[in-house]
Structure 1
Amino acid sequence: MNSPTPIFDNFDTLDNPFHQKVFHIASFFGRKEAILAADTDYEFSLKFLYSYIGSSATFSAYRRELERLLQWSWFVRKLPITGLKREDIEAYVKFARNPPAAWIGLKNVARFKQIGGDRKPNPDWRPYVVSINKELVRAGITPTIEQYELSQSALKATFSVLSSFFGYLIQEGVVEANPVALIRQKSKFIQKEQTQKPIRRISNLQWDFLKELAQELAEQNPVKYERSLFILNCLFGMYLRISEVVADERSTPTMGDFQRDMDGNWWFHVTGKGNKNRIVTVSDEMLNALKRYRQFLNLPVLPVSGERTPLVAKTTGRGAVTSTRQIRSLLQELFDQAYEKMVKEGFADDSQDLRSATAHWLRHTGISEDVKIRPREHVRDDAGHASMATTDKYIDSDLRERHASGRRKKL
């Protein structure tokens, strides 16, 4: 089976499809492959995706799922997606769990390349990509096609996105039923967890080493590491996501987002997941971390109303950091050095989680620690959780007590 060609480019290259009158997708088909109503598929897929250009992460997730379905529907099932039934969706899910080798890539690559003045499909792009964790990469293990696996979280995302898309098609009068919603027994695809999965976080000891290391590095080389230390404190101390400290199409976080209320209390105003605005409590220690970073930047010790200084600025050039990858890289360096420091000082057995830690673990760790001592509803609101059930996942005392009661069981 031939390798598919990408269909949808990045959102910033798309023209507004609602201003288009004609949609042609013939370039994706050979003369014998053309699918009746494929132009309609293309039109409404574009319009659906265009509704999500306000969030690059959401747009990318929805584009990925739609592109996979279109590729399968057109070139494997030989049907337009507007003609798919429940049994077709079930067949598609089985396909997605075990796609042919020609559809699987070993790394993420751009869908399109800029060649001259034109955007050209990247021949190395594949709809599915093998993913292996950082520890395996460090061990010198390279990904292979045989390692491809559709995770349970990815499968849930597939059902969620496609159900939303078909719901949109119903509203537009393109289809009469949602074939995804008609799959009654999703349990044969999605496994149910009897117990909640543990929150991925670093230990208190690991955090102590990480924080101490970041402070030492900032003292030794402030130009390189003061910014990294501030980012570390933001993610742990205010539970921020990486996407909430960089500039994107939703917002540009600034120093002016730190604001003092009438009682003299400081809050950080943030636009978070799903374009939802929230305010986050700024603790005394977080305020001290802010002061330290501003002194390094030669700014007044505290922000002023309306200040437009980027929260995290580029070190070369002007403006705010826009790449979450750059933030991950800065923090990964701290994780790696903290791991080495722990091993060197005799804490090898306690250091292992730092080998696989990600930046998001800092948010998890901050929430997990605070939920032990703060009212749950306060932590929920600072974290931006939609419900208390999400916050409750961070309470691990039940697991501790459960294990303590079982440790001395006799065989």
Structure 2
Amino acid sequence: MNLPVAVPESPDITLSLALPAALDGHDGTNRARSGHRQIAADSDVEAVRLWLAEYAGSPHTLRSYRKEAVRLLLWATRTLGKPLSSLTREDFLLYEQFLAAPTGDWADPARPRRGGARRLFDGPLSARSQHQALGIVSGLLSYLVSAGYLAGNPLALRRRTGATARRAPRVERYLDHALWDHVLASVEQWPRLTARDHQHYERSRWLIRLLYSTGLRVSEAANAKAADFYQRRGKWWLHVTGKGGSAGEVPVSTALMSDLARYRVFHGLASTPSGNETAAAVMSVAGDPHRHLTPAALYLIVKEVFRRAADMLAINDPAGATTLRRASTHWLRHSAATHQADAGNDLRFIQKNMRHASIQTTGIYLHAEDDVRHARTVQDQGDAVASEPHRAGRTHRDAS
């Protein structure tokens, strides 16, 4: 199997797949033939591209979703010789088997990790990754059904059984307290020999504190203005416009306001923002108050922070360095919620701070009870091992 297709790397909605006309989905057997269409797309790639456009403000999500869409489109057309819009439930049973054991060029280690001819898998997906991949694909299919493009979602028939149905999820993409402290300390070691270095240091220092302390999504941070910080009853709050234009308020600590003051004073602004300011909360490296950075730009800044922190940790803590290299902006949001839960903050308050629609979503950040269970279990096992020689000796004497 060859993959002569340019698979994009940048966090935009480009989806340059050269599919044969017979496999573009124009005549897919699962295409909706009646009802009112909500989209004008008339090929599978066009329809998928429109779905991806819904996530343009979330670079990390966009990358993940596009990866799964590319995998499915290529597998369907190259392996089955069918367009995405002709796939059946039986086809997706085969796809599940494929995700568990991709073979040949799909996971060929000789192929590069990047570029148009790169391998699309590093090996078999874990059960968790398979579940995540199929969940993303099911979301795509449901979107296309709602849009009047597909007649039905074959994955809606998928039976949730066993561990998948019973599993209580726990978020894993977060930094523990020690790693977060290391990230903060590592930034303080950045060189500041030139004006540009110093500007970059101050912006990076402020950005990671803003994302962590408020739990903002990267798109929310990119759109935030200094005027969104305001006081009520002597306490500071941040007004946030989130998903779908929904508004929320996040408590702001005295420490974060001090960090904001430091960042603003460095760029010649008043330490405290006024209510009629148009300045961005996170400015360009030179401090242009009228320039809002894109979510992709903020994403890359944070990735650099984590990469530098990982480099400093590589020798003494390779596992921690690996975690930091995987981390992204959304990990800071997860870290914020997890650390608030660890500190004993009321789950209802965390839900409001994260602006979750359901408190069940917030519940995935409760790790403290698991930590206690682990500590007690390991301690009990250690006590049992320590007393084993005594019991063994007593048993020997009794037998005598």
When normalised by structure 1's length, the TM-score is 0.70
More displaced stretch, 170-179 vs 382-391: 170-179
Equivalent of residue 180 in structure 1, options 146, 155, 158? 155
Aligned to 1:398: 369
Q: Could you say if the C-alpha distance between residues 302 and 197 of structure 1 is closer, same or farther in structure 2, counting changes exceeding 3 Å?
A: same
Counterparts of 1:28 and 1:176, CA distance in 2? 22
Identify which range, 200-209 or 379-388, moves more after superposition.
200-209
Q: Distance in 2 between matches of 1:47 and 1:159?
A: 18
Q: Residue 70 of structure 2 corresponds to which residue in structure 1?
A: 67
> Counterpart of 2:73 in structure 1: which amino acid?
L
Post-superposition offset of 1:90: 0.8
Instruction: From the superposition, tell whether residues 269 and 151 of structure 1 become closer, same or farther in structure 2 (CA, over 3 Å).
Output: farther
Please list, as runs of the form range in 1=range in 2, the aligned pairs for 1:316-355 lying within 5 A after superposition. 319-322=291-294, 323=297, 324-337=299-312, 339=313, 353=320
Residue of structure 2 in register with 1:142 after alignment: none
Matched residue SS, 1:391: helix
Give distance in 1, aligned partners of 2:51 and 2:171: 35
Structure 1 unmatched runs, 5+:
15-24, 110-122, 131-147, 247-251
Aligned: 1:50 with 2:53: no
- CA distance in 1: counterparts of 2:71 and 2:322, whole angstroms: 33
Task: Report the counterpart of residue 113 of structure 2 in structure 1.
Answer: 107
Partner amino acid, structure 2, of 1:285: A
In structure 2, the residue matched to 1:97 is 100
Aligned equivalent of 2:26: 39
Deviations 1:99-132 (A, max 9, x none): 34323454244xxxxxxxxxxxxx4355x243xx
SS in 1 for 2:53: coil
Runs of 4+ in 1 over 6 A off after TM superposition: 7-10, 218-221
CA contact (8 A) 2:25 2:83 kept: yes
2:137 counterpart of 1:162: yes
**1:231 counterpart = 2:207:** yes
1:28 to 19, 27, 35: 19
Asked whether the equivalents of residues 36 and 80 of structure 1 are also in contact (C-alpha less than 8 Å), the reply is: yes
Correspondence 1:256 to 2:227: yes
Identify the residue that residue 347 of structure 2 maps to in structure 1. Answer: 376
Within 2, Cα distance between the matches of 1:327 and 1:207?
13
Q: Residues of 2 paired with 1:384 and 1:294: CA distance?
A: 27
Is 1:211–2:184 an aligned residue pair? yes
Gaps in structure 2 of 5+ consecutive residues: 29-40, 386-400
Distance (Å, rounded) in 2 between the aligned partners of 1:37 and 1:12: 18
Per-residue CA distance 1:77-102 (angstroms, 9 max, x = gap): 12333332211111122223333432
Which one-letter code corresponds to 1:50 in the other structure? Answer: L
- 1:284 counterpart residue number: 254
1:171–1:242 Cα change, 3 Å: closer
Change (3 A) 1:66 1:394: closer
Look up the match of 1:116: none
Q: Corresponding residue for 2:86?
A: 83
**Matches of 1:354 and 1:7 in 2, distance apart?**
28
Which residue, out of 120, 124, 128, partners 2:117? 124
Give 1:117's aligned residue: none
Among 289, 294, 318, which residue is 2:264 paired with? 294
Report the alpha carbon displacement of residue 321 of structure 1 after superposing the two structures with TM: 3.4
Aligned pairs, number:
350
> Are 1:312 and 2:282 counterparts?
yes
Matched, 1:387 2:358: yes
More helix by share: 2
Q: CA deviation at 1:170?
A: 4.3
Identity %: 26
CA distance in 1, matches of 2:310, 2:62: 30
Measure the CA separation in 2 of the matches of 1:80 and 1:208.
49
CA shift for structure 1 position 333: 1.9
Aligned ranges 1:255-274 → 2 under 5 Å = 255-261=226-232, 263-272=233-242
SS in 1 for 2:380: coil
- Compute the displacement of 1:396 (Å): 2.9
Give the drift of 1:168.
4.5
In the aligned structure 2, how far is the partner of 1:284 from the partner of 1:37? 56
CA contact (8 A) 1:257 1:270 kept: yes
Alpha-carbon offset, residue 172 of structure 1? 5.8
Q: What TM-score, normalized by structure 2, do the two folds share?
A: 0.71
Letter of the 1:28 counterpart: L
**Given that residues 230 and 238 in structure 2 are in contact (C-alpha distance below 8 angstroms), is that contact kept between their aligned partners in structure 1?**
yes
